[in-house]
Each structure stands twice: as C-alpha cells, then as structure tokens.
A and B are shown apart, each in its own frame.
Chain A
C-alpha cells in the first residue's frame, strides 16, 4: 500500500498541472487576486468619496443660509450653466442629461422664519442606482444640520431655554451594552467564512489528483497492469486514497498558511488590524480542533472524488462529474452561512454543515466540546462508510471495465 502511495506522490510532485492547482494557485494566485479585488474596491470607494457633485437648488432664495452651506462644502459645486431647473421634472431631466449630479427642490411655501412652525417637504433628485454613492448622505447631513438650526431657533422663539432642548427633543436616550466579547462578535461575522474557504479548498486539493489517479490510469491503460500485481484491490485503493487525502489536506494547509503570511504582511502596513485582532485570541488548541474536524471532511470528499474518478472512463468524464459535486458541497456550507444559523441537535446531523458551524463556534470561542466530539464521531463514521464504498467500488468489474 505504501509502495503505491509513495509512487503516486512521486508522480504527483512531477505533475506541473496538479502542482499548479494545489500549490501555486493557493500560495500566489489567490492572494494576488484577493489583493487586486481589494485594491479595485478601495479605488472605486476612494473615487466616489473624492467626487465633487454639481448641484442645483430650485427656490434657493428661500433658504439662503442652506444655499451658502452647500456652496462652501468641498464636495459640491454649483451648476454654472445658464439653464434654470425649477421643478422636479426639470431637475430629473438635467440629472439624466448629465448636466448636474443632484438637484434639491425647496417648496415655494418654505419659510425659514422661526415663527413658521410648519413642516416643509424637500426633495433630493439624483441617480440612486450606484452602489457606492455619497451624494445623498452628504446632502442629508447638510439638510439635517440646517433643520437642527431651524429647530433651535423655533424652540428659542417659543421661549424654551437652551438647556432644556435636549430633554425635550430626546426624552429617552438608549445605549447598547453588548455581552458578546470582541472575539464572539468578530467570530460570528468572520467565522463562517473560514469553512466557506477551507472546505472547497479541501475538495479542490482532492479532485485534481483523484482524476489523475482513477480515470487518468484507465485512460492511459495503466490501471489494468496495476490490477495484475499481487497487491489486493483494497491496498491499491487505500494507497491511492492516501495520496488524494494528503493532497487535499496539503492544499488547505498551504492556503491557510499563505493567507496567514499575507495577512501578516498586510497588517504590517497597518491594514486589516481588526482581522488580526479577531484571530489573536484563537489559540493553537482551537486551530488543532479545526484541523481535527476538517480531517473527516477531507476523508469524505477524498473517497467521494476517488470513487467518481474510478467510475469514469476518461479524464474528461471525471471532470464533468466534478462540477456538480462541487455545487453539492457548497450547499451545506451556504446553509451554515445563513443568518442566525447555529449548532443545534438538528444541524449537528447535517454533514459538512455541522463541521462548518462547529468551526464558526470554535472561532467565536463559544464551542461546546461535547457537540464537537459528536460531530467528529458522526463525520468520521460517514467518512469511513464512504471509504469502504470506494474500496468496494474498486473491486467491481462493472466499474473497472466499463
């Protein structure tokens, strides 16, 4: 069995294609892609933040103090054309035509005198279809400040002393006291993404060599010769299985280590401090626990992909089966990502979802070790069953000589 394992590993290490997917992709390409994504996202946010919006105020003369505040705001620039847009329709057309970015309609009956005491409905006209847009937020802030000044003036005109304004406007102040510590908080938000990243990596690390070791051998005509050696089918399949398992775990470990290095480098520049803080309290024991839970998942997925690969006649056929399989693996992970999903006596029985939820709990620091043990045992049993199916599969003539 170990002879088969050693030979498979040797061959795998000489296969540039598999090495690329299992080692190079996670070490270099994923972090580069993530960095590129983060760079593009921050660039668009920065551009949106630095954008200066051209504005037009209809009935500006009714609120000269407000007009002045907008005029002197660094993110707004007054429309300098000759046209006049005095209605919502005219402003909408102007926004659509790209003449202005935003229009504000102050109603004709607006009176900024403190004695007025009538609510006025203003309208802000802009294109709200962009996902990163600061224009409305900025205007809302300016309008709120202006409204607050009007309110103060009105209250003073009504004879309410300045000291009582706060209590009158906000009789009850509410504040939040969170019993969850920082780790639990971060863990809830980030914890679910760890299995979301790790489990597909385990699958990816398993499927590339599995295709080569099963369907690849059939296609190259080496499987038949291998079956003629005095090594039992069980030993052969276990040798192959160990190779697939080693590759899947290596792929996950390499990726996590490379991510840790990259996060380390990034936090060296001051970025990602919150991420670093979130993981600072996760101990070595917790990481070992995560690894222990991931192991039966790796066994499960490795047996599954190897069985599929042995069944397939050709490399291509095996690849065709791998697509739907990865979808099947994603579903239970996505279930664990659903809001408020937690480890219960019911979710503990759903394969992969249970491991995914347990990893989240470990990162949050709220894990129930009894439940983890149960999940480990259940997953290990399922993994063992799948592995024995794989061995039986490998002994069937109808599978080997399809």
Chain B
C-alpha cells in the first residue's frame, strides 16, 4: 500500500522567469514556483491509481517525489508503513519507476541493461539469474536479449524498460505517462504489464492523459490541478462528483469546481 499526505514542492525561479510574468501562474509567489502545494492520495495492494491532471499541474513533480528523485519540502510518503521521505534509499528499493521517456543504455544489450539495474539493486548470483530469466520469459524477450538496446524496436525497448523497472520486485510501481508516443502494439504491452502487477497485488500509480486507459485499468483516480489534489477516490465517486458518466466531462467539471473555489 502507498499513502501520500500533504506533499509540497517548490522551485526557486530564475530572475528572467520572475520578470517575464505576462501570464503568471498563481503558484508563482515570492520568487518561487510552488509546483506541488497539497497532494494527498492512497492506493491499496490490489488497486491501480490513475493520476490525472492538465499539463503543468504538478503530476511529474509528484511522481518524482514518489520515486525519491526529488525531496519534498513538506508532507509524507509511506510505502507498506515505511516513511520513504526520511529513508529514501529504502524507498528506492520499494519502488519501480517507468516513464515514456525513460531511456536505456544504447551500447549495452537488453540483457545487460536489465542485469545492470538488478546488480545496482543488490541482486547477485543465482537470485539475479533466476529473476532475470523469469522476467525475460514472462515478457517474451528471449529473441532480442543479446541485441544492443540502440538497435531495438520501440516495443522491444519498452519491454526491456519494464523488466528493468521491476527486476528488484518492487512493492509499488510508478508509471509516468508510460504510453505517450507509443504505437498500439507497444501500448498493449504496457496495459498487460499493469494487469499483471495488479494480479500480483502490487499497487500501481500511473499518470496519463488518456481517459480510455483510466477506464480500462484504474480502480481509483487522483486528479491534480495547479499543484493541489482536488479529487481522490474511486471511478464511481469521480463520476458522481464530476456530475457525469463520461470521464471527460467529469474531469472538466471537477477541474472547474476546484478553480471556482480558489
């Protein structure tokens, strides 16, 4: 289970950004850009949580805090009861992270890429071998294992990336727009992967702009707008609060309600 409470993160603005304030974001105050101001949500073991929000809402910053790449200014993140803000190294062991822009080491083979990350996660010898073999078989990667990553097709690359992200058997998997720019076949690989995680009781948090994917995969939705989570609940609750059976309309209604309160 993952529980996020009152996350905050701000970035210092450059002088140019402060002076060029023609379309100033309300989050821009006192020389800082308050990218995330109050984000809270939770996701249980058998759930998939979809992180929704307009562009620039603070989704990527939130996910980067979950993945411990960024340290929150305030708030807490608990995975299976452990505070990963206080213990980021333990957090990194518990999290698997994948985004649409995640790259591979082009001059290493698919197998070497996965094994490298396995070793960085402390896997060795027989444990490393058996875990990798299991993943290669599950993801049907055997045919291109010894090809250099730079020569792989997008689908093969994404499969390698998936294997890389879960090689250490993470307790939570975080996906940042994992299907952006992918073709239908590759997208299907990602969808199957999320279903596989759900079946294994691994909570998944993924951000996307595709509401059809939300409808297909998610049990819960968290909607972030202007750095604040203005909704966190089940799909049914989302439709009810958004006053529409169409996810699109519900999304727009919730965003507008949130902005009307500000």
Q: How far is the CA of A401 from the CA of B68 in the complex (A)?
A: 13
Interface of B is mostly: mixed
Interface residue A14 (Cβ < 8 Å from any Cβ of B): yes
Q: Interface with A: B37-45, B114-122, B233-241, which one?
A: B114-122
Q: Interface with A: B46-54, B98-106, B133-141, B211-219, which one?
A: B98-106
**A224:B92 contact, CB within 8 angstroms:** no
Interface residue A397 (Cβ < 8 Å from any Cβ of B): yes
Size category of the binding interface on chain B: 20 to 34
Q: Would you give the shortest CB distance from A221 to chain B, in whole angstroms?
A: 4
Q: How far is the CA of A230 from the CA of B11 in the complex (A)?
A: 25
**B117:A225 contact, CB within 8 angstroms:** yes
**B119:A3 contact, CB within 8 angstroms:** yes
Interface of A is mostly: helix
Q: How far is the CA of A400 from the CA of B131 in the complex (A)?
A: 31
Q: How far is the CA of A401 from the CA of B64 in the complex (A)?
A: 10
**A4:B69 contact, CB within 8 angstroms:** no
Interface residue B97 (Cβ < 8 Å from any Cβ of A): yes
**A212 to chain B: closest residue by CB:** B107
Most buried by A among B97, B103, B117, B165: B103
Q: Would you give the shortest CB distance from A19 to chain B, in whole angstroms?
A: 11
Q: How far is the CA of A355 from the CA of B122 in the complex (A)?
A: 41
**B107:A224 contact, CB within 8 angstroms:** no
**A2 to chain B: closest residue by CB:** B119
Q: Contacts A15-B107, A220-B103, A225-B102 known; A7 to B116 CB distance under 8 Å? A: yes
**A11:B120 contact, CB within 8 angstroms:** no
**B92:A230 contact, CB within 8 angstroms:** yes
**A397 to chain B: closest residue by CB:** B70
Q: How far is the CA of A14 from the CA of B93 in the complex (A)?
A: 30
User: A345: which B residues are within 8 A, CB to CB?
Assistant: none
Interface residue A232 (Cβ < 8 Å from any Cβ of B): yes
**B70:A4 contact, CB within 8 angstroms:** no
Q: How far is the CA of A276 from the CA of B186 in the complex (A)?
A: 64
Interface residue B95 (Cβ < 8 Å from any Cβ of A): yes
**B103:A221 contact, CB within 8 angstroms:** yes
User: B120: which A residues are within 8 A, CB to CB?
Assistant: 3-4, 226, 229-231
**B9 to chain A: closest residue by CB:** A397
**A222 to chain B: closest residue by CB:** B103
Partner of A11, one of B92, B101, B103, B108: B108
Q: Write the A206-244 contact mask toward B (1 if CB under 8 angstroms, else 0).
A: 000000000000001110111111111000000000000
Q: How far is the CA of A154 from the CA of B67 in the complex (A)?
A: 102
Most buried by B among A4, A232, A397: A397
Q: Contacts A221-B101, A225-B97, A228-B97 known; A7 to B108 CB distance under 8 Å? A: yes
User: A175: which B residues are within 8 A, CB to CB?
Assistant: none
**B89:A401 contact, CB within 8 angstroms:** no
Q: How far is the CA of A225 from the CA of B100 in the complex (A)?
A: 12
Q: How far is the CA of A243 from the CA of B90 in the complex (A)?
A: 27
**B67:A232 contact, CB within 8 angstroms:** no
User: B164: which A residues are within 8 A, CB to CB?
Assistant: 225
User: B82: which A residues are within 8 A, CB to CB?
Assistant: none
User: B122: which A residues are within 8 A, CB to CB?
Assistant: 230
User: A11: which B residues are within 8 A, CB to CB?
Assistant: 105, 107-108
**B106:A227 contact, CB within 8 angstroms:** no
User: A222: which B residues are within 8 A, CB to CB?
Assistant: 102-105
Q: How far is the CA of A26 from the CA of B12 in the complex (A)?
A: 45
Q: How far is the CA of A401 from the CA of B11 in the complex (A)?
A: 11
**B105:A228 contact, CB within 8 angstroms:** no
Q: Write the A375-402 contact mask toward B (1 if CB under 8 angstroms, else 0).
A: 0000000000000000000000110110
Q: How far is the CA of A230 from the CA of B108 in the complex (A)?
A: 21
User: B119: which A residues are within 8 A, CB to CB?
Assistant: 3
**B107:A230 contact, CB within 8 angstroms:** no
Q: Contacts A230-B122, A397-B70 known; A10 to B108 CB distance under 8 Å? A: yes
Interface residue B71 (Cβ < 8 Å from any Cβ of A): yes
Q: How far is the CA of A224 from the CA of B100 in the complex (A)?
A: 12
Q: Which 4 A-B pairs have the closest CB atoms?
A: A221-B103, A220-B103, A229-B120, A14-B107
Q: Supply 6 A–B pairs (Cβ within 8 Å), ascending by A.
A: A3-B116, A220-B106, A224-B97, A225-B103, A227-B68, A231-B120
Known: A14-B107, A232-B89; 12 extra A-B contacts, CB below 8 A, are: A3-B116, A7-B112, A7-B116, A10-B108, A11-B105, A224-B67, A225-B97, A225-B164, A225-B165, A228-B67, A228-B95, A230-B92
